Amino acid sequence: MGIDLTKFFNGVYQGKKVLVTGDTGFKGSWLALWLTEMGAQVYGYALPPKTEQDNFLRCGLDKRIVHQDGDIRDRDALEAFFARVHPDMAFHLAAQPIVLESYDNPHYTFETNMMGTVNFFEAVRRTPSVRAVVNVTSDKCYQNNEWVWGYREHDPMGGHDPYSASKGCSELITRSYMQSFFSAADGCAVASARAGNVIGGGDWAPYRIVPDFFRAMKENKKLIIRNPDAVRPWQHVLEPLGGYLLLASKLWTDGAAYSGGWNFGPVETNNATVRELIEAILEITGSGGFEVPPSEMAPHEARLLKLDISKANTQLKWKPVLNFKETVEYTVNGYLDEQNSSDTHYENRVNQIQSYLESAVKLNL
């Protein structure tokens, strides 16, 4: 028996109808699972899971929530789903989230991430039951000057590669809908949430370092690392999700006071190079390996990008809970659990949420 999850976030999620786009993905499936454990009725809208090993299927979410396969670019289908569900709250996570894929397919990336956001807000606008909305974008939404300071919420939007630019656009779209259609009087409070690279069990997306490592390990191969010295702000998936849930609960109880953009980045001590991350993973797994090929021309990818989290810290009382070592431990345990053939994946994810929240309580969060 762990702690009672329904009590967290002022208990606002219990009995609420919560619509999550992108529920079949890495972050969306964890969010759907966490919401379910808090007593929410979860309704998901996304493309179908890509493989049998996706977190959504491994955790049996297809049987625990109401999911509809659908394309975020299909405005009519999305609006019909909102009209059928009448959700109280909505989280938007459906997106093409991979930078390298955005170089291969910029048109699809812009269409999904920009027009998908427009379609999402059109559906919200036409569904009066919705009172709290969080659009999940990215730390890459900022114009990246590669400077040493953290980006703050009012810094200019930008983006060099198509993915980053599409997330900057998603932010501008959010702001436009917020200012044009969702005043406090309309009763729907809207916010956007910006987080960096997240890691954790259940992520099998291509071109991501941790899934790539575990894929290689399964095949007894060495991981090829393109940019070993790139510094990234590593964060466990539960950290930003806790931020999104806290933010939406405040939007629900206090409305427009919490509208706007919010950074949910890690503390600076969680910044580490790709090489340091993989070495920390190897220390736990004891198997797998990596090699660095001679330098080659790689597409431009932003270097260091830090988020200033003072706003979330002071106004939401949110801050990261796990240090770098714990982040890696949670992540590796999450992946190693998946190699276990027993049917306890859902319970193991819930255990991680419980132990994460226990640590948060100890920090008075």
Which spans of this chain sit near ligand NAD (rule: CB under 6 A)?
A: 22-28, 46-47, 71-73, 93-97, 112, 136, 138, 195, 197-198, 205
Confirm if 238 and 352 have CB atoms less than 8 A apart. Answer: yes
CA angle 160, 165, 166 (to 5 degrees): 150
Least spacing, CB of residue 108 vs ligand NAD, in Å: 8
The single-letter code of the amino acid at 19 is L
Closer residue to ligand NAD (CB): 9 or 44: 44
Least separation in angstroms between CB 228 and ligand NAD: 19
- Closer residue to ligand NAD, CB minimum distance, 5 or 195: 195
Number of residue whose CB is nearest ligand NAD: 25
Closer residue to ligand NAD in complex, CB, 27/256: 27
> Smallest distance, Å, CB 234 to ligand NAD?
10
CB of 27 to ligand NAD, least distance (A): 4
- CB count within 10 Å of CB 344 equals 13
Take residue 343 and report the two structure tokens written for it: 């049917």
State which residue, 24 or 259, has the beta carbon closest to ligand NAD: 24
Minimal distance in Å, beta carbon 198 to ligand NAD?
4
**Helices and strands of the chain, counted as H and E runs:** 14, 13
The enclosing H or E element of 216 equals: helix 209-218
The DSSP bridge partners found for residue 135 are: 92, 192
Provide the 3-class DSSP secondary structure of residue 189: strand
Instruction: Supply 312's token pair.
Output: 């979330």
The residue among 41 and 105 lying less far from ligand NAD, judged by its C-beta, is 105
CB of 202 to ligand NAD, least distance (A): 9
Write the Ramachandran bin of 166: left for phi over 0, alpha for psi from -120 to 50, otherwise beta.
Answer: alpha
Residue number, 167 or 319, with CB nearest to ligand NAD? 167
Provide the minimum distance between the beta carbon of 130 and ligand NAD in the complex, in angstroms, as a whole number. 18
C-alpha distances out from residue 10 to 1, 94, 250, 263, 356, Å: 21, 27, 9, 21, 17
Which lies closer to ligand NAD via its Cβ, residue 113 or residue 249? 113
Which residues, 6+ apart, have CB-to-CB distance to 270 below 8 Å? 233, 234, 235, 320, 322, 323, 324, 327
